[in-house]
């Protein structure tokens, strides 16, 4: 069994499907829908409305995604540049024994980025990076603790002092 398959077993199937779809560039984004003849009023990113709505933009370059990834890296006390391309995302390599946990939580973060986009599209609700990071922590802990045979994370390891993550950075 591959490392990726083991990680997928402790997360809901919808996370694994999303990761596969991202890796295969199979997310229905506005640019691709427009190429297929779907009549859209705009092909701009739904969240920030600055650039074209592409898979890479949704998960990496949109202002919401960049804010969330920056908060995510600070939560883990990792000082490195944000992801620059999809090849760097979802690979779980942080060079430590925490790589398995990192990748699982990283995938949850990607899932919630996609969910925020869908809320913006279908319900006209825009989330904040701070609230979404809090949800990443809660969802990751719930899914990992309920689906793992042995406890690989304790709640106190998952919690952080959220007051250090203000809405401005």
Q: What is the pLDDT of residues 101-115, one digit of tens each?
A: 777 788 888 898 888
The C-alpha atoms of residue 20 and residue 1 are separated, in whole angstroms, by: 17
**What are the structure tokens assigned to 124, written together?**
């006209």
Query: Could you report the per-residue pLDDT of 11-48, keeping only the tens digit for each?
Result: 788 888 888 888 888 888 999 899 989 999 899 987 77
Rounded to the nearest 10°, the torsion over CA 4, 53, 112, 116 is -170
């Amino acid at each position: 069994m591959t490392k990726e398959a083991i990680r997928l077993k402790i997360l809901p199937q919808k996370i694994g499907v999303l990761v596969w779809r991202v890796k295969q560039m199979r997310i229905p984004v506005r640019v691709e829908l427009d190429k297929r003849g779907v009549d859209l009023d705009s092909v701009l990113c739904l969240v920030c409305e600055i650039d074209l709505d592409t898979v890479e933009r949704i998960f990496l370059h949109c202002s919401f995604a960049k804010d969330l990834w920056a908060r995510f890296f600070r939560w883990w006390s990792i000082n490195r540049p944000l992801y620059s391309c999809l090849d760097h995302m979802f690979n779980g390599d942080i060079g430590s024994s925490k790589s398995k946990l990192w990748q699982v939580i990283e995938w949850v973060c990607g899932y919630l980025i996609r969910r925020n986009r869908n809320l913006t599209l279908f319900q006209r609700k825009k989330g904040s990076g701070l609230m979404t990071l809090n949800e990443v922590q809660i969802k990751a802990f719930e899914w990992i603790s309920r689906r793992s045979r042995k406890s690989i994370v304790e709640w106190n390891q998952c919690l952080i002092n959220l007051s250090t993550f203000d809405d401005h950075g």
